[in-house]
Amino acid sequence: MTTPIAAILTSDLAGQVRGRAFPADELEAYRRSGSGWVPANLALDPFGRIVTPNPFGSIGDLRIMPDPATRTPVTNEPGGQPITVMLGDLVNPDGSPWDCCPRTLLRDAVEDLRKETGLRVISSFEHEFMLRDPDRVPGRKPFSLEALLAYEPLGSKVLQALRDAGLEPEMWLPEFGDRQWEVTLAPAPALQAADRAILLREIVRNVVRTEGERATFSPIVERDGGGNGVHIHLSLIDETDAPVAYDPTRPGGLSRLAGSFAAGVLRHAPALQALTASSGISYERLAPGRWSVGGLFLGENNREALLRICPLFNTPGADHRKQFNLEYRGADATSNPWIALAVLLRAGLEGVRADLPAPEVVSGDPGRLSAEQLASASHGSMPASLDAALVALEADRTVTSWLPARLLETFLLIKRGELELLSRLDDQERYTVYADAY
């Protein structure tokens, strides 16, 4: 009988999960002392290249300290021994937090929001991905029983693996794109929700692989094809766990407090995009008419808004206060979930600090609004490319102040190196390298 392994993992600036493994029977020792890590690993790009020069070079050492609350079994084959994985925080050799740790970035944002406002965020990451086997049929059969049955037992195995991992899966469905699927998880406190997003991607890819398929969370896999997004849902609760975002007397049902939070997100939206949709092909998906993001506004009853008020339902016993949530639609799986959620919380906190007025709520189809009406409701323009998104990020001194200087410098180096690589590839090669990476 082989000795199973365990692994301590982190997620880097390209949203890739990396770490180190060891015999599982030594897990307790590693739980206490962590595993060695290298600062320059933060400079790895999505394709496994280390960007040089970078702020760290060959100097220094770190530890990945596992969080026992993230302990998750992952089975690599049916009936096989589970591999134990844990997500961790990057710390200095003396145990102090490393300033560039993405997970610590989110933890600090959660704590600052709580200390200043008494608010906490409950969140969920809604993922889309595509299967890559062109021989499997049906292709475009959105929401159909035919597609669900054709791919069984894949769906059952994905949901069971997520349930075994404690991730509380909610739904599994065939989406609009060719061999596209969506999987959702139950809401959880912010740090736990981002941890779950990281684990979900790895578990889904693993289950699909054991079934002889390949999955990709890449934002887009072919020109004019369907795109894969990550929708981040945000609910606000106070220190008594009471929901505080809903007020039926106000436009869209958005309370004054939640309105200020939403206004902060939209005020900094152009700069946030590089951190929530971080690839060179993300912006082919984020365009009008693609049911992704047609504009930087707060929407109700439409899916073209960057920030959407999700619908409420009058089901028996429904509590609209608990149902009410905002959906940020501008993210994808090329971003780091810890960083993406951290900057959304920071932006919302800025809005609450400044007591910003609630954004104008756009109801219905924005395509039917006049240019003047849409301009009045919009908070700038969606960057048309990653390069434009990086320029917007650097220009927003408030957003850059939330990021440690070396982390920001490394992120910019990675992304500009990524763009330089893409400039040498044709269209199909660009789609392929991202499909393989994600």
Which residue, 410, 413, 417, 430, is CA-closest to 40? 410
Q: What is the pLDDT of residue 134?
A: 65
Question: Domains in the chain, please, with CATH?
Answer: 106-399 (3.30.590.10)
- Rounded to 10°, the helix 154-164/190-210 angle is 140
3-state secondary structure of 177: coil
More confidently predicted of 183 and 312: 183
Closest CA to 174 of 153, 143, 150: 143
Question: CA 99 → CA 89, 194, 197, 419, distances in Å?
Answer: 11, 19, 22, 26
Find the range with the poorest average confidence among 107-111, 133-137, 208-212, 295-299.
133-137
What pLDDT is stored for residue 378 in this prediction?
A: 82
Q: Could you give the dihedral angle defined by the CA atoms of residues 176, 177, 180 and 181, in that order, rounded to the nearest 10 degrees?
A: -20
123 with 187: CB under 8 angstroms? yes
431 pLDDT above the threshold of 70: yes
User: What percentage of the chain's residues is helix, strand, coil (to nearest 5)?
Assistant: 40, 25, 35
For 204-246, write each residue's pLDDT tens digit.
999 999 988 899 999 999 887 778 999 999 999 999 999 999 9
pLDDT reported for residue 337: 98
Give the whole-angstrom CA distance, residue 138 versus residue 136.
6
- For 55, list phi and psi in degrees, rounded to 5: -65, -10
Q: Which of 263, 236, 262, 264 is nearest to 123 (CA)?
A: 236
Q: Confirm if 343 and 411 have CB atoms less than 8 A apart.
A: no
Q: Three-class SS of residue 98? A: coil
CA distance 174 to 184: 12
pTM exceeds 0.85, yes or no: yes
Please tell me the predicted confidence (pLDDT) of residue 133. 76
Q: For residue range 310-361, what is the model confidence (pLDDT) as tens digits?
A: 988 888 888 999 999 999 999 999 999 999 999 999 999 999 999 999 999 9
- With a pLDDT cut of 90, the percent of the chain lying above it is 79
Q: In whole angstroms, give the CA distance from residue 126 to residue 328.
A: 10
Say if residue 142 is preceded by a cis peptide, omega within 30 of 0: no
Peptide bond before residue 134 is cis, with ω within 30 degrees of 0: no
